[in-house]
Structure 1
Protein backbone atom coordinates (compact mmCIF):
# COMPACT_ATOMS: atom_id res chain seq x y z
CA UNK A 1 0.00 0.00 0.00
CA UNK A 2 2.80 2.31 0.77
CA UNK A 3 4.07 1.79 -2.72
CA UNK A 4 0.83 3.10 -4.23
CA UNK A 5 0.84 6.20 -1.98
CA UNK A 6 4.32 7.21 -3.19
CA UNK A 7 3.48 6.38 -6.72
CA UNK A 8 0.29 8.46 -6.60
CA UNK A 9 2.12 11.39 -5.03
CA UNK A 10 4.88 11.28 -7.68
CA UNK A 11 2.30 10.78 -10.40
CA UNK A 12 0.44 13.88 -9.26
CA UNK A 13 3.66 15.91 -9.17
CA UNK A 14 4.84 14.70 -12.58
CA UNK A 15 1.36 15.09 -14.06
CA UNK A 16 1.00 18.61 -12.67
CA UNK A 17 4.45 19.59 -13.97
CA UNK A 18 3.59 18.11 -17.36
CA UNK A 19 0.35 20.07 -17.53
CA UNK A 20 2.17 23.28 -16.49
CA UNK A 21 4.80 22.75 -19.18
CA UNK A 22 2.19 22.10 -21.86
CA UNK A 23 0.16 25.14 -20.72
CA UNK A 24 3.35 27.22 -20.83
CA UNK A 25 4.07 26.17 -24.42
CA UNK A 26 0.49 26.90 -25.49
CA UNK A 27 0.54 30.32 -23.79
CA UNK A 28 3.95 31.19 -25.23
CA UNK A 29 2.79 30.13 -28.70
CA UNK A 30 -0.23 32.41 -28.48
CA UNK A 31 1.93 35.38 -27.46
CA UNK A 32 4.40 34.78 -30.30
CA UNK A 33 1.60 34.20 -32.80
CA UNK A 34 -0.26 37.33 -31.64
CA UNK A 35 2.90 39.43 -31.95
CA UNK A 36 3.53 38.02 -35.41
CA UNK A 37 -0.03 38.78 -36.54
CA UNK A 38 0.21 42.27 -35.08
CA UNK A 39 3.44 42.89 -36.99
CA UNK A 40 1.91 41.50 -40.19
CA UNK A 41 -1.13 43.75 -39.81
CA UNK A 42 1.02 46.83 -39.18
CA UNK A 43 3.27 46.01 -42.16
CA UNK A 44 0.22 45.49 -44.39
CA UNK A 45 -1.26 48.81 -43.23
CA UNK A 46 2.03 50.62 -43.92
CA UNK A 47 2.26 49.12 -47.41
CA UNK A 48 -1.37 49.93 -48.10
CA UNK A 49 -0.91 53.54 -46.97
CA UNK A 50 2.30 53.86 -49.00
CA UNK A 51 0.69 52.47 -52.15
CA UNK A 52 -2.30 54.78 -51.92
CA UNK A 53 -0.34 57.93 -51.07
CA UNK A 54 -0.77 60.00 -54.21
CA UNK A 55 1.79 62.70 -54.96
CA UNK A 56 0.01 65.26 -57.12
CA UNK A 57 1.63 67.20 -59.92
CA UNK A 58 2.22 70.82 -58.88
CA UNK A 59 2.51 74.02 -60.87
CA UNK A 60 5.95 74.56 -59.34
CA UNK A 61 7.16 71.15 -60.60
CA UNK A 62 5.62 71.82 -64.01
CA UNK A 63 7.45 75.15 -64.32
CA UNK A 64 10.72 73.85 -62.83
CA UNK A 65 11.18 70.71 -64.93
CA UNK A 66 10.93 71.12 -68.70
CA UNK A 67 10.74 67.36 -69.35
CA UNK A 68 7.93 66.97 -66.84
CA UNK A 69 6.06 69.89 -68.42
CA UNK A 70 6.39 68.36 -71.89
CA UNK A 71 5.22 64.95 -70.64
CA UNK A 72 2.26 66.60 -68.91
CA UNK A 73 1.24 68.35 -72.13
CA UNK A 74 1.62 65.14 -74.14
CA UNK A 75 -0.35 63.07 -71.60
CA UNK A 76 -3.19 65.62 -71.68
CA UNK A 77 -3.18 65.57 -75.50
CA UNK A 78 -3.36 61.79 -75.67
CA UNK A 79 -6.09 61.45 -73.04
CA UNK A 80 -8.14 64.65 -73.32
CA UNK A 81 -7.57 66.51 -76.60
CA UNK A 82 -10.33 65.82 -79.11
CA UNK A 83 -8.07 66.02 -82.18
CA UNK A 84 -7.82 62.48 -83.55
CA UNK A 85 -4.25 62.74 -84.88
CA UNK A 86 -2.90 63.20 -81.36
CA UNK A 87 -3.57 59.48 -80.93
CA UNK A 88 -0.58 58.87 -83.24
CA UNK A 89 1.68 59.60 -80.27
CA UNK A 90 -0.23 57.47 -77.76
CA UNK A 91 2.25 54.59 -77.46
CA UNK A 92 3.75 55.07 -73.98
CA UNK A 93 6.33 52.33 -74.59
CA UNK A 94 7.79 53.84 -77.77
CA UNK A 95 7.96 57.29 -76.24
CA UNK A 96 8.29 60.66 -77.92
CA UNK A 97 10.80 62.88 -79.60
CA UNK A 98 10.25 66.63 -79.30
CA UNK A 99 11.92 69.06 -81.65
CA UNK A 100 11.98 72.64 -80.46
CA UNK A 101 11.46 74.92 -83.43
CA UNK A 102 11.87 78.63 -82.62
CA UNK A 103 9.75 81.06 -84.63
CA UNK A 104 8.94 84.76 -84.46
CA UNK A 105 5.69 83.80 -82.68
CA UNK A 106 7.51 81.72 -80.05
CA UNK A 107 8.63 78.14 -79.74
CA UNK A 108 6.77 75.35 -81.49
CA UNK A 109 7.24 71.95 -79.90
CA UNK A 110 6.96 69.30 -82.60
CA UNK A 111 5.94 65.93 -81.13
CA UNK A 112 7.08 62.83 -82.98
CA UNK A 113 5.98 59.33 -82.03
CA UNK A 114 8.87 57.08 -80.98
CA UNK A 115 11.86 58.51 -79.14
CA UNK A 116 14.15 56.80 -81.68
CA UNK A 117 12.49 58.17 -84.83
CA UNK A 118 14.96 59.06 -87.57
CA UNK A 119 14.95 62.01 -89.96
CA UNK A 120 14.14 59.61 -92.82
CA UNK A 121 10.95 58.50 -91.01
CA UNK A 122 9.76 62.08 -90.45
CA UNK A 123 7.72 62.40 -93.63
CA UNK A 124 4.40 63.79 -92.40
CA UNK A 125 4.05 67.05 -90.46
CA UNK A 126 3.85 66.13 -86.78
CA UNK A 127 1.48 67.28 -84.09
CA UNK A 128 2.84 70.21 -82.16
CA UNK A 129 2.02 72.50 -79.27
CA UNK A 130 2.80 75.96 -77.97
CA UNK A 131 3.25 77.06 -74.36
CA UNK A 132 2.26 80.72 -74.05
CA UNK A 133 3.39 83.16 -71.36
CA UNK A 134 -0.21 83.61 -70.17
CA UNK A 135 -0.43 79.91 -69.25
CA UNK A 136 -2.25 78.75 -72.37
CA UNK A 137 -1.35 75.50 -74.10
CA UNK A 138 -2.31 75.38 -77.76
CA UNK A 139 -2.41 71.99 -79.46
CA UNK A 140 -2.02 71.86 -83.25
CA UNK A 141 -2.48 69.08 -85.73
CA UNK A 142 -2.08 69.04 -89.49
CA UNK A 143 -5.11 67.68 -91.29
CA UNK A 144 -3.93 65.00 -93.71
CA UNK A 145 -5.29 65.24 -97.31
CA UNK A 146 -6.90 68.58 -96.66
CA UNK A 147 -6.31 72.15 -97.70
CA UNK A 148 -7.70 73.52 -94.46
CA UNK A 149 -5.75 75.10 -91.66
CA UNK A 150 -4.40 72.98 -88.84
CA UNK A 151 -6.86 71.83 -86.21
CA UNK A 152 -6.26 73.47 -82.84
CA UNK A 153 -7.45 73.07 -79.29
CA UNK A 154 -6.59 75.30 -76.37
CA UNK A 155 -6.17 74.44 -72.70
CA UNK A 156 -4.37 76.07 -69.81
CA UNK A 157 -1.43 74.81 -67.81
CA UNK A 158 -3.69 74.83 -64.73
CA UNK A 159 -6.30 72.70 -66.56
CA UNK A 160 -3.61 70.23 -67.68
CA UNK A 161 -2.31 69.87 -64.11
CA UNK A 162 -5.79 69.61 -62.59
CA UNK A 163 -6.82 66.95 -65.11
CA UNK A 164 -3.67 64.89 -64.50
CA UNK A 165 -4.35 65.02 -60.76
CA UNK A 166 -8.03 64.20 -61.32
CA UNK A 167 -6.91 61.16 -63.35
CA UNK A 168 -4.46 60.35 -60.54
CA UNK A 169 -1.84 60.09 -63.27
CA UNK A 170 1.03 62.20 -61.91
CA UNK A 171 3.12 59.06 -61.36
CA UNK A 172 2.49 57.92 -64.91
CA UNK A 173 3.43 61.36 -66.25
CA UNK A 174 6.64 61.34 -64.20
CA UNK A 175 7.42 57.90 -65.63
CA UNK A 176 6.97 59.19 -69.18
CA UNK A 177 10.16 61.23 -68.85
CA UNK A 178 12.36 58.17 -69.39
CA UNK A 179 10.87 57.81 -72.89
CA UNK A 180 11.24 61.45 -73.92
CA UNK A 181 14.00 62.80 -76.15
CA UNK A 182 14.33 66.54 -76.83
CA UNK A 183 16.10 67.97 -79.88
CA UNK A 184 16.63 71.56 -80.98
CA UNK A 185 16.18 71.94 -84.72
CA UNK A 186 17.33 75.55 -84.94
Structure 2
Protein backbone atom coordinates (compact mmCIF):
# COMPACT_ATOMS: atom_id res chain seq x y z
CA UNK A 1 0.00 0.00 0.00
CA UNK A 2 1.46 3.35 -1.03
CA UNK A 3 1.48 6.19 1.42
CA UNK A 4 2.11 9.83 0.85
CA UNK A 5 3.49 12.41 3.18
CA UNK A 6 2.22 15.95 3.15
CA UNK A 7 4.84 18.67 3.22
CA UNK A 8 4.42 22.34 3.80
CA UNK A 9 4.51 24.53 0.71
CA UNK A 10 7.70 26.25 1.79
CA UNK A 11 9.77 23.17 2.49
CA UNK A 12 10.34 19.70 1.22
CA UNK A 13 11.71 16.49 2.67
CA UNK A 14 15.31 16.72 3.78
CA UNK A 15 15.54 20.49 4.02
CA UNK A 16 15.46 22.77 7.01
CA UNK A 17 12.01 24.32 7.00
CA UNK A 18 13.33 27.71 8.18
CA UNK A 19 10.34 27.95 10.53
CA UNK A 20 11.74 31.04 12.26
CA UNK A 21 12.02 33.06 9.03
CA UNK A 22 9.55 35.77 8.07
CA UNK A 23 6.62 34.39 6.09
CA UNK A 24 5.06 37.77 5.28
CA UNK A 25 4.19 38.05 1.59
CA UNK A 26 6.80 39.71 -0.61
CA UNK A 27 5.70 41.78 -3.59
CA UNK A 28 7.38 43.07 -6.72
CA UNK A 29 8.22 46.18 -4.68
CA UNK A 30 10.78 44.08 -2.77
CA UNK A 31 12.45 42.92 -6.00
CA UNK A 32 15.77 44.71 -5.36
CA UNK A 33 16.03 43.48 -1.76
CA UNK A 34 15.52 39.87 -2.86
CA UNK A 35 17.76 40.19 -5.93
CA UNK A 36 20.61 41.70 -3.91
CA UNK A 37 20.52 38.70 -1.56
CA UNK A 38 20.27 35.92 -4.17
CA UNK A 39 22.56 37.34 -6.88
CA UNK A 40 25.48 35.12 -5.72
CA UNK A 41 23.57 32.00 -6.83
CA UNK A 42 22.86 33.28 -10.37
CA UNK A 43 24.80 30.36 -11.90
CA UNK A 44 22.19 28.04 -10.34
CA UNK A 45 19.23 30.13 -11.48
CA UNK A 46 17.38 27.21 -13.10
CA UNK A 47 17.46 24.98 -10.00
CA UNK A 48 16.54 28.03 -7.93
CA UNK A 49 13.52 28.67 -10.20
CA UNK A 50 12.44 25.04 -9.86
CA UNK A 51 12.71 25.32 -6.06
CA UNK A 52 10.50 28.42 -6.20
CA UNK A 53 7.97 26.23 -8.05
CA UNK A 54 7.93 28.17 -11.30
CA UNK A 55 6.37 26.24 -14.19
CA UNK A 56 8.90 24.46 -16.41
CA UNK A 57 7.36 26.12 -19.48
CA UNK A 58 8.01 29.54 -17.91
CA UNK A 59 11.56 28.53 -17.01
CA UNK A 60 12.17 27.53 -20.64
CA UNK A 61 10.73 30.86 -21.87
CA UNK A 62 12.99 32.74 -19.44
CA UNK A 63 16.04 30.83 -20.64
CA UNK A 64 15.25 31.38 -24.34
CA UNK A 65 14.49 35.09 -23.96
CA UNK A 66 17.63 35.70 -21.90
CA UNK A 67 19.89 33.78 -24.31
CA UNK A 68 21.35 31.86 -21.37
CA UNK A 69 22.65 34.97 -19.53
CA UNK A 70 22.49 33.77 -15.92
CA UNK A 71 22.02 37.23 -14.36
CA UNK A 72 19.18 38.05 -16.75
CA UNK A 73 17.59 34.64 -16.11
CA UNK A 74 17.74 35.12 -12.34
CA UNK A 75 16.21 38.59 -12.66
CA UNK A 76 13.30 37.26 -14.71
CA UNK A 77 12.80 34.33 -12.32
CA UNK A 78 12.40 36.79 -9.44
CA UNK A 79 10.02 38.93 -11.47
CA UNK A 80 7.82 35.93 -12.31
CA UNK A 81 7.91 34.72 -8.72
CA UNK A 82 7.25 38.06 -7.00
CA UNK A 83 4.35 38.71 -9.38
CA UNK A 84 2.99 35.28 -8.31
CA UNK A 85 3.22 33.90 -11.85
CA UNK A 86 3.21 30.32 -10.49
CA UNK A 87 0.78 28.17 -8.52
CA UNK A 88 1.20 30.06 -5.26
CA UNK A 89 -2.08 28.71 -3.88
CA UNK A 90 -0.53 25.22 -3.82
CA UNK A 91 3.10 26.12 -3.15
CA UNK A 92 2.84 29.19 -0.92
CA UNK A 93 3.15 32.92 -1.36
CA UNK A 94 6.48 34.62 -2.07
CA UNK A 95 8.22 35.17 1.27
CA UNK A 96 11.71 35.16 2.78
CA UNK A 97 11.13 31.66 4.15
CA UNK A 98 10.62 30.38 0.60
CA UNK A 99 13.72 32.28 -0.57
CA UNK A 100 15.78 30.51 2.11
CA UNK A 101 14.52 27.07 1.09
CA UNK A 102 15.14 27.76 -2.61
CA UNK A 103 18.62 29.20 -1.99
CA UNK A 104 19.56 26.14 0.06
CA UNK A 105 18.00 23.51 -2.21
CA UNK A 106 18.08 24.98 -5.71
CA UNK A 107 20.90 27.44 -5.23
CA UNK A 108 23.00 24.90 -3.35
CA UNK A 109 24.13 27.53 -0.87
CA UNK A 110 23.06 26.67 2.69
CA UNK A 111 25.38 29.33 4.18
CA UNK A 112 23.65 32.07 2.18
CA UNK A 113 20.25 30.62 3.09
CA UNK A 114 21.16 30.76 6.79
CA UNK A 115 22.44 34.34 6.41
CA UNK A 116 19.13 35.39 4.81
CA UNK A 117 17.25 33.58 7.57
CA UNK A 118 19.16 35.53 10.25
CA UNK A 119 18.43 38.83 8.47
CA UNK A 120 14.69 38.14 8.13
CA UNK A 121 13.45 36.54 11.36
CA UNK A 122 9.82 35.77 12.03
CA UNK A 123 8.40 38.89 13.68
CA UNK A 124 7.09 38.66 17.24
CA UNK A 125 3.36 38.19 17.51
CA UNK A 126 1.63 41.44 18.38
CA UNK A 127 -1.94 42.29 19.16
CA UNK A 128 -2.75 39.00 20.88
CA UNK A 129 -4.27 39.45 24.29
CA UNK A 130 -4.46 36.81 26.96
CA UNK A 131 -6.35 37.34 30.18
CA UNK A 132 -4.18 36.19 33.06
CA UNK A 133 -5.97 35.54 36.34
CA UNK A 134 -3.92 35.05 39.51
CA UNK A 135 -5.86 32.93 41.94
CA UNK A 136 -4.25 30.78 44.58
CA UNK A 137 -5.11 27.11 44.30
CA UNK A 138 -6.89 27.39 40.96
CA UNK A 139 -5.78 25.55 37.90
CA UNK A 140 -6.77 25.97 34.25
CA UNK A 141 -10.18 24.46 33.69
CA UNK A 142 -11.35 24.68 37.32
CA UNK A 143 -14.46 26.74 37.80
CA UNK A 144 -13.71 28.21 41.22
CA UNK A 145 -16.51 30.73 40.83
CA UNK A 146 -14.91 32.34 37.80
CA UNK A 147 -16.46 32.25 34.36
CA UNK A 148 -13.51 31.47 32.14
CA UNK A 149 -13.23 31.17 28.39
CA UNK A 150 -10.65 29.75 26.00
CA UNK A 151 -8.50 32.91 26.19
CA UNK A 152 -8.04 32.79 29.95
CA UNK A 153 -5.00 31.30 31.61
CA UNK A 154 -5.26 30.76 35.35
CA UNK A 155 -1.92 30.90 37.12
CA UNK A 156 -1.50 30.25 40.83
CA UNK A 157 0.63 32.92 42.44
CA UNK A 158 3.14 31.47 44.92
CA UNK A 159 2.59 32.85 48.41
CA UNK A 160 6.19 34.13 48.58
CA UNK A 161 5.48 36.46 45.65
CA UNK A 162 2.24 37.85 47.07
CA UNK A 163 2.10 41.10 48.95
CA UNK A 164 -0.55 43.03 50.80
CA UNK A 165 -2.10 45.57 48.45
CA UNK A 166 -4.99 46.61 50.68
CA UNK A 167 -3.62 50.17 51.02
CA UNK A 168 -3.48 50.35 47.22
CA UNK A 169 -7.09 49.21 47.03
CA UNK A 170 -8.04 51.91 49.57
CA UNK A 171 -6.16 54.57 47.62
CA UNK A 172 -7.83 53.61 44.38
CA UNK A 173 -11.35 53.31 45.80
CA UNK A 174 -13.78 55.89 44.41
CA UNK A 175 -14.47 58.65 46.90
CA UNK A 176 -11.45 57.83 49.08
CA UNK A 177 -9.88 61.21 48.39
CA UNK A 178 -6.52 59.46 47.98
CA UNK A 179 -4.44 59.23 44.84
CA UNK A 180 -1.81 56.80 43.69
CA UNK A 181 1.10 59.22 43.47
CA UNK A 182 3.50 57.41 45.79
CA UNK A 183 6.91 56.17 44.69
CA UNK A 184 7.47 52.43 44.88
CA UNK A 185 10.72 51.38 46.48
CA UNK A 186 9.94 47.73 47.06
CA UNK A 187 10.69 46.62 43.46
CA UNK A 188 7.09 45.75 42.61
CA UNK A 189 6.23 48.68 40.39
The answer, yes or no, to whether TM exceeds 0.5 is no
TM-score by length of 2: 0.21
TM-score by length of 1: 0.21
The structure with the greater share of residues assigned to strand is 1
Greater gyration radius: 1
The structure with the greater share of residues assigned to helix is 1
